[in-house]
Structure 1
Amino acid sequence: MARKSFALQTEPHVAEIGDDIELEFLPEVMGDDYLDALGRLQDRYKNLGIDLSGDIDEAPPEALREVNAALREFIGSLMLPESAERFSTMRLPDRVVVALLEWSKEIYGGGRPPTSSNGSAAASPPRGTRSTGSSRSKGSTPTRGR
């Protein structure tokens, strides 16, 4: 009989921001709970008419403020209560907030794409298209002194 042990994360994940800010995230989030919360975030984006794969500079400032609020709400929902309260009043650059989102996908999404339909790999180039890269496996490498 085969046997496999699985460890559960019992200590909070900690995001260090700057020299003196630590935000504690829930040790474990059930996969469906995380994906449901991420789906709600994406639905809010769609309801605002924001296409995150497009040029968001075209969106009205009020819609972008709502996107930022939705994103911060989502990230805060993954934190321990004290950190979530601190985060809700914290002013951070957008790049840090987006990095926290990406990190949450890494630690809670388990490396899975956020949705099955849009998370697939990019399509291969059409047949017959030459690549611009070179391959070390095609031929020998130059030898010094010859």
Structure 2
Amino acid sequence: MATRDFAVRTETHVATLGDLGELHFVPEAVGTEFLDGYQKVQEAQALLGGEQDLTKMDPQVVRQVYAAMRLFLSGLMTSESAERFLRFEVVKGGKVAAHFRTREEADEYAKDLGGTARVRDESLRLPDRVLMDLMEWVTELYGGGNDRPTTPSSGSSRASRRAGTTGKASSRSKGSTRTAGRSAR
């Protein structure tokens, strides 16, 4: 019977945001949840057409990019952190009727309530640079960066066998050749 140990993260990842507290991310992305979310971010970024100057960008497209990034990040968070990070409340008569993670869902619900219902964005406010750093960090965590789980040496895979067979024949070369950077002894 063959056995093999696999390293699986079970502890949440924590992003500490100073006085704003912490955001907790799930230990491992499962299936294609990381790739699907990241693809949506890339599709939104493609709408910018490579433009780097904010003053030349379409504000609606920039909003779409930020919304895609925030939705992507919240999809990798624990439910408690996601609730805090991305939250759109539908308010009617001074009371919160419901809350959603996307503006579109909240707008649709408010429209169904009619009249005085409005949407209030209660998402965690973060500077752009922090949002970008979070994107980079989760990409490393879930996309194969340097922060992969480690295993003990005994759990490492063995080196592949070398092709062919080892032989005892002597080299055809009668002398040695110099290699750059080495001196003959």
TM over 0.5: yes
More strand by share: 2
* RMSD of aligned residue pairs (Cα, Å): 2.3
Contiguous gaps of at least 5 residues in structure 2: 87-122, 147-180
Query: 1:96 and 2:94 equivalent?
Result: no
CA deviation string 1:86-143 (max 9, x = no partner): 111111100000100000011101129xxxxxxxxxxxxxxxxxxxxxxxxx8xxxxx
Structure 1 gap ranges (5+): 113-137, 139-146
1:42, CA displacement in angstroms?
Answer: 1.2
Q: TM-score, normalised by structure 1?
A: 0.66
1:57-93 Cα distance to aligned partner (Å, 9 max, x none):
2212222122111111111110001100111111110
Residue 49 of structure 2 corresponds to residue 44 of structure 1: no
Report the Cα distance in structure 2 between the residues aligned to 1:73 and 1:36, rounded to whole angstroms.
Answer: 11
Which structure: larger Rg? Answer: 2
Residues 16 and 23, structure 2, Cα contact 8 Å, conserved in 1: yes
CA distance in 2, matches of 1:3, 1:111: 27
Residue type of the alignment partner of 2:131: V
1:22 Cα shift?
0.7
Counterpart in 2 of 1:76? 74
Shift of 1:32: 3.0
Moved over 3 A (4+): 1-4
Aligned AA (2:15):
A
1:8-64 deviation line (CA, Å, top 9, x unaligned): 100110100014511110111036331122112212333xx213x441422122221
> Which structure has more RCO (C-alpha within 8 Å, separation ≥ 6)?
1
Aligned to 2:144: 110
Secondary structure in structure 1 of the residue aligned to 2:32: helix
Mapped to 1, the partners of 2:61 and 2:40 lie a distance apart of 16
Rounded to whole Å, the distance in 2 between the matches of 1:56 and 1:100 is 22
Cα distance in structure 1, aligned partners of 2:53 and 2:76: 25
Aligned length: 111
TM-score (normalizing by structure 2)? 0.53
| Identity within the alignment, % | 45
